Amino acid sequence: MADPVKRFHLHLVSDATGETLNGIARACIVQFENVEPVEHMWSMIRSDRQIEKVLSGIAANKGVVLYTLIEERARAALEAGCRALGVPYIPVLDPTLGALTNYLGLKTRNLPGRQHALDADYFKRIDAINWVMAHDDGQSAHGLTDAEVILIGVSRTSKTPTCIYLANRGIKAANVPFVPGVPLPDEIAMLEERAEPPVFVGLTNDPNLLVQLRRNRLNMLNESRETDYTDLDKVKSEIAEARRFFGARGWPVIDVARRSIEETAAQIISIVQERREKAEAGR
């Protein structure tokens, strides 16, 4: 039996930005141990000349081809070229589109890059991103009334990147730091009393990991002296106090230790969706 391939060329061919294809490829690759793909991204591929360039690249570095081409002529040219080269080619959207076509009884429109159209959802995401940046780390507390989500957590719990990720899903998310002995903005208590308050989520972390993250942060700032910020006992007390604070208010708490930002955001999105469904059911 031949030894398994560890390092290989992976060609990602898209008629749009390639963001969807890249995400699918990475989700698949992480399921294999010690595999090192050499990625070749071919984006905005729509013309015959572009297909020829792609096939030349594939011929020079033979490997697996994943593609999301919608236009039939481009697909046919790529597939014919891959067959001639003897390389595997996989249309990653076809199973999903086929299932939807059968279920809906409708034909696809075959419009390249349709998911990136400048529609209302696109501008909603841009607006959310701008809003998040203006309300990062407790800034502009007076504008929190527009927030759909407010993350409150101790330092180094990935509050900002999580908010940015949520903004890319069109969710206006603000974050406020939890600092022992420092009261939260008055607006937080006011928002809690609203008939439909924003979703409050408390973020915590493993004390040992948190100390490591904070020390790395200080090293980047050329600050090496020991303070309560990195003292393990103080950090344990800080996290315990934060948990008591969140629990007293009935807020959901997410421990971000060994969680990716995407996983944390996914859990928050589930909480938001559940809130929306309850609100719809009550109307």
For residue 23, the model assigns a pLDDT of 87
What's 254's DSSP letter? Answer: E
Distance from C-alpha of 90 to C-alpha of 66, rounded to nearest angstrom = 5
Distance from C-alpha of 175 to C-alpha of 257, rounded to nearest angstrom = 18
For residue 131, the model assigns a pLDDT of 78
Sheet of strand 173-177: strand arrangement: 173-177, 149-153, 199-204, 253-255
* Torsion angle of the four alpha carbons 244, 151, 269, 249, in this order, in degrees rounded to the nearest 10: 30
Q: What is the biggest distance separating any 2 CA atoms in the chain, rounded to whole angstroms?
A: 69
For residue 105, the model assigns a pLDDT of 87
Per-residue pLDDT reduced to its tens digit, 77-134: 999 999 999 999 999 988 887 888 888 887 776 555 555 444 566 667 777 778 777 7
Query: What does R_g of the chain's alpha carbons equal in angstroms?
Result: 24
For residue 144, the model assigns a pLDDT of 81
For residue 118, the model assigns a pLDDT of 46
| Report field, pTM of the whole predicted structure over 0.75 | no
Strands (DSSP E) found in 15-132: 36-42, 63-68, 89-91
Distance from C-alpha of 2 to C-alpha of 169, rounded to nearest angstrom = 44
Residue 170's identity, in one-letter code, is G
Q: Please report which helix (H) or strand (E) contains residue 48, including its range.
A: helix 48-60
pLDDT in tens, the chain (283 residues): 556 768 899 999 998 878 888 888 988 998 998 899 999 999 889 899 999 999 999 999 999 999 999 888 999 999 999 999 999 999 998 888 788 888 888 777 655 555 544 456 666 777 777 877 777 765 655 668 888 999 999 998 999 999 998 988 888 898 999 998 899 988 888 888 888 889 999 999 999 999 998 988 888 888 777 788 889 999 999 999 999 999 999 999 999 998 899 899 999 998 998 887 777 777 6
For residue 279, the model assigns a pLDDT of 77
For residue 112, the model assigns a pLDDT of 57
Residue 7 neighbours by CB under 8 Å, 6+ apart: 35, 36, 37, 38
